[in-house]
Amino acid sequence: MENLDFARLQMAFTLGFHIIFACIGMVMPFFMVVSHKKWLNTRNPVYLELTKSWQKGVAIFFVTGAVSGTALSFELGMLWPEFMKHAGPIIGMPFSLEGAAFFVEAIALGFYLYGWNKLPEKFHWFTGIIIGISGVASGILVVSANGWMNAPTGFDYIDGQFVNIDPVQAFLNPAWFTQALHMTLAAVVATSFAVAGVHALQVYRNKRPDLHKKAFKIAIIFGAVAAFLQPLSGDLSAKDIAERQPMKLAAMEAHYETGTNVPLYIGGIVDEENQKVTHKIAIPGALSFLAFGDFDAEVKGLKDFPEDEHPPVAIVHYAFQIMVGIGTLLMLAGILYFLSLKYKKLFNKKWYWLLFVVLAPLGFIAVEAGWVVTEVGRQPWIIYGFMKTSEAVTPMPGMEFSFYMYLVVYAVLAVTVTWLMRRQIRVLNAVKE
Partner 1 sequence: MLYVVLFFLLFSLLLYVLLGGADFGAGIVELFSSRKNKLTTRNTIYRVMGPVWEANHIWLIILLVILWVAFPVYFNVIMIYLHVPFVLVLLGITMRGVAFIFRHYDAIVDRSQLFYNWMFRISSLVTPVFLGMSFGALIGGKIILTEDDYTGFTFSELYLWPWFNSFTFLVGIFYAVLCAFLAATLLIGETQGKVRKMFSKKSAYFTITLVLLGFILIAYGYIYEVKFIKDFVSNPVSIGAVILSGLLLIPLWRAIKRQNTLGSRYLAGLQVVLVLFAALYAHFPYIIITAEKEVSLLEGLPPQAVIQNLGIMLLIGGGVILPGLFHLMRSFGMIKIFKSGEKEFENN
Interface stretch with partner 1, choices 24-32, 68-76, 282-290, 357-365 (CB under 8 A): 68-76
Residue from 22, 29, 106, 104 nearest 71 by CA: 22
Nearer to ligand HEM (CB atom), residue 17 or residue 353: 17
Contacting positions for ligand HDD (CB under 6 A): 143, 150, 175, 179, 182-183, 186, 189-190, 230-231, 234-235, 237-238, 241, 323-324, 326-328, 330, 363, 366-367, 370-371, 373-374
Element (H, E) at 259: strand 259-260
Rounded least distance, CB 133 to ligand HDD, Å: 19
Asked if residue 301 lies in contact with residue 258, where contact means CB atoms within 8 angstroms, the answer is yes
Q: Which does 363 bind (CB under 5 to 8 A by kind): ligand HDD, ligand HEM, partner 1, none?
A: ligand HDD
225 vs 188: CA distance, rounded Å: 9
To ligand HEM, the closest distance from the beta carbon of 291 in angstroms equals 23
The conformation of residue 351, written as its DSSP 8-state character, comes to: H
Give the shortest CB-323-to-ligand HEM separation in angstroms. Answer: 12
Cβ(202)–Cβ(212) under 8 Å?
A: yes
To the nearest 10°, the Cα dihedral for 267, 270, 275, 278?
Answer: -60
In the window 151-180, what residues touch partner 1 (CB under 8 A)? 163-168
Tell me if 130 contacts ligand HEM by CB under 6 A.
no
Q: Is position 78 an interface residue for partner 1 (rule: CB under 8 A)? A: yes
Angle, in degrees to the nearest 10, between helices 350-359 and 313-342: 150
CA atoms within 13 A of residue 217's CA, in its CB half-sphere: 14
Q: How far apart are CA 313 and CA 98, in angstroms?
A: 33
- Checking DSSP bridges between strand 264-271 and strand 387-388, what pairing results, if any? unpaired
User: CB 246 → ligand HDD: shortest distance, Å?
Assistant: 12
Return d(Cα 286, Cα 389) in angstroms, integer.
33
380 preceded by a cis bond (ω within 30 of 0): yes
- Helix intervals (H) in 151-175: 167-171
Q: How many residues bind ligand HEM (CB under 6 A)?
A: 41
The footprint of ligand HEM on residues 20-39 (CB under 6 A) is 21-22, 25-26
Q: How far apart are CA 82 and CA 348, in angstroms?
A: 59
Backbone region of residue 300 per phi and psi (left: phi > 0; alpha: psi in -120 to 50; beta: other values): beta
**Is position 254 an interface residue for partner 1 (rule: CB under 8 A)?**
no
Residue of 2, 103, 243, 293 interacting with partner 1 (CB under 8 A): 103
Measure the CA–CA gap between 5 and 400, rounded to whole angstroms: 9
Name the binder of 150 from ligand HEM, ligand HDD, partner 1, none, CB < 5-8 A by kind.
ligand HDD
- How far is C-alpha 89 from the geometric centre of its chain's CA atoms? 25
Report in angstroms how near the CB of residue 317 gets to ligand HEM at its nearest: 14
Any contact of residue 350 with partner 1 (CB under 8 A)? Answer: no
User: Which residues of the chain form contacts with ligand HEM (CB under 6 A)?
Assistant: 8, 11-12, 15-16, 18-19, 21-22, 25-26, 61-62, 65-66, 69-70, 72-73, 76, 80, 83, 102, 105-106, 135, 138-139, 142-143, 145-146, 183, 371-372, 375-376, 378-379, 382, 389
User: Which residues of the chain form contacts with partner 1 (CB under 8 A)?
Assistant: 56, 59-60, 62-64, 66-71, 73-74, 76-78, 81-82, 84-86, 88-90, 92-93, 95-100, 102-104, 106-107, 109-111, 113-114, 118-120, 163-168, 394-398, 402, 405, 409, 413, 416, 420, 423-424, 426-428
